[in-house]
Structure 1
Amino acid sequence: MLDTYEKRILKELQRDGRASTQTLSDAVGLSPSPCWRRVKRLEEDGYITRYAAILDGKKLGLRALAHIQVSLIDHDTSSIAKFKDFIDHNEQVLECASITGDFDYILKVAAKDPESLEHFIMQNLLGLKVVRTTATTFILRQMKVSGALPVDI
């Protein structure tokens, strides 16, 4: 179980992963040494898995975002492994989740434009020869973008 200080630390680090130990300790109400030790323990225990920068996709020329629902041809171990390997190594795939319903997976994909997204689907995704069908929904505007998880639930 996490105590109040650890929950505060996690919230602050989700808000600013580059916060110094002093800034973090001030924000959560601990002195720097105990705060640093708690951060290290949270990392070692796997609560904090990595630190990352959040980039502006538009500034990078990524003007097309979409959710792509994917249904595989079969659920054979080799088909799933091929699909997973593709997902793991393709930078355009921002997220992938196994889902319930008519499809097996949902992907969040970034592309330069709709034509690039079409190329991704037709050449890369369907080119795997393990995908039966896809359904694509363009994201017109993201209303909220947050990688932060609720800590107090």
Structure 2
Amino acid sequence: MLDKFEKLILTTLQHNGRASTQELSDAVGLSPSPCWRRVKRLEDAGYITRYAAILDGKKLGLHAFAHVQVSLIDHSEASIDVFRRFVDQVDQVLECSSITGDFDYILKVAATDPEALETFIMNNILRLGVVRTTTTNFILRQMKVSGPLPLDN
């Protein structure tokens, strides 16, 4: 169970992962040493899994973002493993969630342009050998962004 100080630390770090121990201690009302110990404990307990910078995709040349719904051919362990390994290894897949409904997964994918996105879907996702079908919805404007972007396009 998290106490009020730990919740404040986590909230502060979500908005500024580079906050110093002094900045955190000022924000949550603890002295630096106890604050640092709490951060360390939160890291060790797995509440904080990593720190990241949020980048501007357009400045990196990424002008096409889409949600790609994916339906697998079957739900065998082997098919799911192939798909999961692909998702874990490919930086263009920004997010992946298992979903209910007509599809099994929804991916958030980044590409330089619509043609590159089409190529990615055709040459990577559909050639996995475990995907039955996909449906793609282009993202017109991202209102809130978090998470890493691919830099090797």
The match for 2:10 is 10
Cα distance in 2, alignment partners of residues 107 and 115 from structure 1: 18
Q: Report the CA distance between 1:144 and its aligned residue.
A: 2.1
The match for 2:57 is 57
After superposing on structure 2, the runs of 4+ consecutive aligned residues of structure 1 that deviate more than 3 Å are none
Cα distance in 1, alignment partners of residues 71 and 146 from structure 2: 27
The match for 2:99 is 99
Q: Report the CA distance between 1:124 and its aligned residue.
A: 0.5
Q: How does 1:6-85 map to 2 (within 5 A)?
A: 6-85=6-85
Q: Could you list the runs of 5+ residues in structure 2 that have no partner in the other structure?
A: 148-153
Q: Report the CA distance between 1:146 and its aligned residue.
A: 4.5
Paired AA for residue 110 in structure 1: A
Q: Report the CA distance between 1:76 and its aligned residue.
A: 1.2
The match for 2:151 is none
Q: Report the CA distance between 1:138 and its aligned residue.
A: 0.2
Task: Number of aligned residue pairs: give it.
Answer: 147
Cα distance in 2, alignment partners of residues 146 and 90 from structure 1: 17
SS in 2 for 1:118: helix
Q: Could you list the runs of 5+ residues in structure 1 that have no partner in the other structure?
A: 148-153
TM-score scaled by structure 2? Answer: 0.94
